[in-house]
Chain A
Amino acid sequence: MENRIKTLFKRKPQGLLSVYFTAGYPNIEDTVPIILELEKNGVDLIEIGMPFSDPLADGPTIQQSSTIALRNGMTIPKLFEQLKAIRKYTQIPLVLMGYLNPVMQYGVERFCQEASEIGIDGIILPDLPLSDYVREYKSLFEQHNLSKIFLISPQTTEQRIREIDSHTNGFIYMVSSASVTGGTNGNAVANTDYFQRVAGMQLQNPGIIGFGIHNRETFTQACNHASGAIIGSAFIKALVREGSLQHNIKSFIQSIKQEA
Chain B
Amino acid sequence: MKYTVDEYGFYGRFGGAYIPEMLYPNVEELRLNYLKIMSEPDFQEELQALLKDYVGRPTPLYFAKRLSEKYNTNIYLKREDLNHTGAHKINNTVGQVLMAKRLGKKRIIAETGAGQHGVATATVCALMGLECIVYMGEVDIERQEPNVARMKMLGATVVPATSGSKTLKDATNEAIRDWINNPEDTYYIIGSVVGPHPYPDMVARFQSVISEEVKAQLKEKTGSENPDYVVACVGGGSNAAGAFYHYLDTPEVKLIAVEAAGLGVDSGESAATSVLGREGIIHGSRTLLMQTEDGQVTEPYSISAGLDYPGVGPLHAHLHQSGRAIFESITDDEALQAVLELTRLEGIIPALESAHALAALGKIGAKPDETIVVNLSGRGDKDLTTYLDRFELHGK
Instruction: Say whether B180 contacts A155, CB under 8 Å.
Output: no
Q: Does B48 make an interface contact (CB < 8 A)?
A: no
Query: Given A53, A56, A67, A175, which contacts B177 in the complex, CB threshold below 8 Å?
Result: A56
Contact partners of B184 in chain A: CB under 8 A: 155, 178
| A131 to chain B: closest residue by CB | B8
Q: Does B336 make an interface contact (CB < 8 A)?
A: no
- Stretch of B14-22, B150-158, B325-333 at the chain-chain interface: B14-22
Instruction: Say whether B176 contacts A178, CB under 8 Å.
Output: no
| B296 to chain A: closest residue by CB | A53
Q: Does A247 make an interface contact (CB < 8 A)?
A: no
User: What is the CA–CA distance of A180 and B173 in the complex, to the nearest angstrom?
Assistant: 12
- Sorted nearest first, the 9 A-B pairs with minimum C-beta distance are A105-B295, A102-B295, A53-B296, A126-B20, A151-B21, A57-B20, A155-B25, A101-B281, A153-B22
Task: State whether A178 and B296 are in contact (beta carbons under 8 Å apart), knowing that A59-B177, A129-B17, A183-B181 are contacts in the complex.
Answer: no
Instruction: Say whether B281 contacts A53, CB under 8 Å.
Output: no
Q: Does B53 make an interface contact (CB < 8 A)?
A: no
Q: Does B163 make an interface contact (CB < 8 A)?
A: yes
Contact partners of A52 in chain B: CB under 8 A: 295-296
Q: What would 21 A/B residue contacts be, using CB atoms closer than 8 Å?
A: A56-B19, A56-B20, A56-B176, A56-B177, A57-B22, A59-B177, A63-B163, A76-B294, A99-B281, A101-B280, A127-B19, A128-B18, A129-B18, A150-B21, A151-B22, A153-B21, A157-B25, A178-B183, A179-B180, A180-B177, A183-B181
Contact partners of A86 in chain B: CB under 8 A: none
Task: State whether A54 and B289 are in contact (beta carbons under 8 Å apart), knowing that A127-B281, A178-B180 are contacts in the complex.
Answer: no
A243–chain B nearest beta-carbon distance, Å: 28
Instruction: Say whether A129 contacts B16, CB under 8 Å.
Output: yes
Instruction: Say whether A53 contacts B181, CB under 8 Å.
Output: no
Instruction: Say whether B20 contacts A102, CB under 8 Å.
Output: no
Contact partners of B43 in chain A: CB under 8 A: none
Instruction: Say whether A54 contacts B164, CB under 8 Å.
Output: yes
Instruction: Say whether B281 contacts A178, CB under 8 Å.
Output: no
Task: State whether A129 and B294 are in contact (beta carbons under 8 Å apart), knowing that A54-B169, A178-B180 are contacts in the complex.
Answer: no
Other A-B contacts than A56-B283, A101-B297, A102-B294, 10 sampled, CB-CB below 8 A, are: A52-B296, A54-B164, A56-B177, A102-B295, A127-B284, A130-B21, A153-B25, A164-B21, A178-B180, A178-B182
Instruction: Say whether B20 contacts A54, CB under 8 Å.
Output: no
Instruction: Say whether B295 contacts A106, CB under 8 Å.
Output: yes
Q: Does A70 make an interface contact (CB < 8 A)?
A: yes
Task: Fill in one digit per residue for A52-75: 1 if any B CB lies within 8 Å of its CB, else 0.
Answer: 111011010001000100100001
Q: Does B190 make an interface contact (CB < 8 A)?
A: no
| A52 to chain B: closest residue by CB | B296
User: What is the CA–CA distance of A52 and B16 in the complex, to the nearest angstrom?
Assistant: 20
Instruction: Say whether B173 contacts A54, CB under 8 Å.
Output: yes
- Tally of A-B Cβ pairs under 8 angstroms: 101
B287–chain A nearest beta-carbon distance, Å: 11
Instruction: Say whether B294 contacts A75, CB under 8 Å.
Output: yes
Instruction: Say whether B181 contacts A101, CB under 8 Å.
Output: no
Contact partners of A127 in chain B: CB under 8 A: 18-20, 281, 284
B127–chain A nearest beta-carbon distance, Å: 28
User: What is the CA–CA distance of A178 and B20 in the complex, to the nearest angstrom?
Assistant: 12
Task: Fill in one digit per residue for B155-195: 1 if any A CB lies within 8 Å of its CB, else 0.
Answer: 00000000110000100010011001111100000000000
Instruction: Say whether B295 contacts A178, CB under 8 Å.
Output: no
Instruction: Say whether B25 contacts A156, CB under 8 Å.
Output: yes
User: What is the CA–CA distance of A179 and B177 in the complex, to the nearest angstrom?
Assistant: 8
B134–chain A nearest beta-carbon distance, Å: 18
User: What is the CA–CA distance of A130 and B28 in the complex, to the nearest angstrom?
Assistant: 13
User: What is the CA–CA distance of A182 and B127 in the complex, to the nearest angstrom?
Assistant: 36
User: What is the CA–CA distance of A153 and B19 in the complex, to the nearest angstrom?
Assistant: 13
| B182 to chain A: closest residue by CB | A178
Contact partners of B177 in chain A: CB under 8 A: 56-57, 59, 180
Which residues, 143 to 179 on A, are CB-close (under 8 Å) to B? 150-153, 155-157, 160, 164, 175, 178-179
Contact partners of A57 in chain B: CB under 8 A: 20, 22, 177, 180
Contact partners of A152 in chain B: CB under 8 A: 21
Query: Given A53, A63, A76, A128, which contacts B297 in the complex, CB threshold below 8 Å?
Result: A53
Contact partners of B181 in chain A: CB under 8 A: 178-180, 183
Instruction: Say whether B180 contacts A101, CB under 8 Å.
Output: no
User: What is the CA–CA distance of A130 and B24 in the complex, to the nearest angstrom?
Assistant: 10
Instruction: Say whether A156 contacts B294, CB under 8 Å.
Output: no
User: What is the CA–CA distance of A218 and B8 in the complex, to the nearest angstrom?
Assistant: 40
User: What is the CA–CA distance of A21 and B20 in the complex, to the nearest angstrom?
Assistant: 19
Instruction: Say whether A178 contacts B294, CB under 8 Å.
Output: no
Which residues, 1 to 53 on B, are CB-close (under 8 Å) to A? 8, 16-22, 24-26
Query: Given B25, B176, B295, which contacts A103 in the complex, CB threshold below 8 Å?
Result: B295
User: What is the CA–CA distance of A160 and B28 in the complex, to the nearest angstrom?
Assistant: 11
A114–chain B nearest beta-carbon distance, Å: 15
Q: Does B291 make an interface contact (CB < 8 A)?
A: yes
Q: Does A245 make an interface contact (CB < 8 A)?
A: no
Task: Fill in one digit per residue for B269-288: 1 if any A CB lies within 8 Å of its CB, else 0.
Answer: 00000000000111110000
